[in-house]
Amino acid sequence: MRNNATPDPFAEPVAFGQRVQILRDRRGMSRPVLAGLLGMSPSWLKQVENGQIQVPKLPMILRIAEVLRVRDLADLTGDQSLAVDLFIGPGHAKLPAVRDAINAFPLSVERPVPSALHLRHRLSGAWTARHTAPNHREVLGDLLPDLIIDAQLAVRAADSAADRRAAQAALSEVYSLSQFFVAYQPDSSLLWRVAERGMVAAHESEDPHAIGVAAWLTAQAHRDSGPGHFDVADAVTTEALRYLEPFLPDAPDKVLAICGALQFEAGYTAARRGENGVAWGWWDKADKAARKLPATYYHPITSFSRAIMGAHAVTVAVELRAGGESVRQSVKSDATAIPSRPRLARHRIEEARGYQLDNQPEVALATLDKAHEAAPETIRYNGYARRIILEETEAKSPDRRRRASELAVKVGLLAA
């Protein structure tokens, strides 16, 4: 009987080009799209996939891995000596405890049931701790197990419909906090479980802010799954914006902020598609939303604010592969206005991507050093940063190789 199953790219022996084609097909990406994102021609990519030309050098392999969101470099190369996680970071030591709390269903736990107001106070403290910590997963790993169980208990123990809705809103936010911990760790099914439970709890709460936040995180999860999921990400974003629109005339700042954050997410996805005008059009809408907020306002979950729009502009330019524009936006942005250490580190990484695109690798490495100073854990889990560092360890310049190697040791890509 003929076997029509898709070949396993990780079964030996499979040539590099075959692996590229199989992984591209699994992402639902056409050859012209992948070639365009790599800055190469479809005919060049066809020759790579057919084995008609030599395997590209490491910088191009890393770019292919970045675009295809390959988890482990060895999955692409077939060389187990290159077993390096790119877009999935190392499993945190506290991941098992958080996973156990998420998977548990506390039906007969003998512990006091907290009120929704009590959970709100704990959540506020947890978000503050996340933004001020250089290693936010370490902090969240301590807080989340009890928060998750207590929020589940609060929903079960609610005496009235109003109390239950308030508890569901708090539970949804606990799942949002959990998603920041789980993201880029080696358990993608857990990430989706958290995102889906957060959305269900948000719907049950009937709270516009909770629904907006859950949609924001769900759209990100779809977009990060690859181009084949971009349409779903857009559908989630646009539906959430349509839902929030009637609330905006009298909405509190947090609802205005989540609306602006969703508008930027639509622009982010458009930039990933290479849709220049659409991406900047959504950025303009988000910028107008930010200007309606107080100058010092900073949304604790999405980081949406006036201060973040400069960083968002850098991200749009980088995703559009516009190196010069990325650098211009980096110069215009005010990184010192970003109060969150992990968000500042992410902005520095986006700046480094821009400098790399603009053929300024020395500045890119220096900017990644700044990201490491702001939040070491953020750069350790960021695939783009890891790709740039690995690429520069192969640079012709001895000084760049040395600086990249030193940073690779700090990040955990190379042994000391």
Q: Give a yes or no: residue 133 inside a domain.
A: yes
Question: How many Cα atoms within 13 Å fall on the side-chain side of residue 206?
Answer: 5
Q: Give a yes or no: residue 380 inside a domain.
A: no
Residue 187 CA to residue 178 CA, distance in Å, equals: 13
Please write the tens of the pLDDT for every residue from 27-85.
777 888 788 778 788 889 998 888 888 888 777 887 788 777 776 677 777 765 554 55
| Domain extent for 113 | 92-206
Q: Are residues 109 and 172 in the same domain?
A: yes
> Of the candidates 39, 59, 82, which is a domain's last residue?
82
Q: Are residues 137 and 194 in the same domain?
A: yes
Q: Give a yes or no: residue 412 inside a domain.
A: no
CB 135 within 8 A of CB 375: yes
> Of the candidates 167, 184, 206, which is a domain's last residue?
206
What pLDDT is recorded for position 416?
A: 53
Q: Number of structural domains, the chain?
A: 2
Q: Give a yes or no: residue 62 inside a domain.
A: yes
Q: What is the CATH number of the domain that holds 43?
A: 1.10.260.40
Beta-bridge partners for 72 = 85
What pLDDT is recorded for position 109?
A: 62
Q: Give a yes or no: residue 271 inside a domain.
A: no
| Confidence (pTM) | 0.82
CB 153 within 8 A of CB 106: yes
CB 255 within 8 A of CB 247: yes
Tokens 């970045």 appear where? 66
Position 213, amino acid: V
Alpha helix ranges (H) inside 224-360: 230-244, 253-273, 276-291, 309-319, 323-332, 341-357
What pLDDT is recorded for position 10?
A: 46
Residuewise pLDDT in 10s, the chain (416 residues) = 444 555 554 444 578 888 888 888 887 778 887 887 787 888 899 988 888 888 887 778 877 887 777 766 777 777 655 545 555 666 789 999 999 999 987 766 677 888 888 999 999 999 999 999 999 999 999 999 999 999 999 998 888 999 999 999 999 999 999 999 998 887 888 999 999 999 999 999 999 999 999 999 999 999 988 778 899 999 999 999 999 999 999 999 999 999 999 999 999 999 998 899 999 999 999 999 999 999 999 999 999 999 999 999 999 999 998 999 999 999 999 888 899 999 999 999 999 999 999 999 999 999 999 999 999 999 988 888 988 998 888 888 899 989 999 998 988 876 55
What pLDDT is recorded for position 386?
A: 86
What burial letters (b/e) apply to 245-270, b meaning 16+ CB within 10 Å?
eeeeeebeebbbbbbbbbbbbbbbbb
- Token pair of 256, please? 């205005």
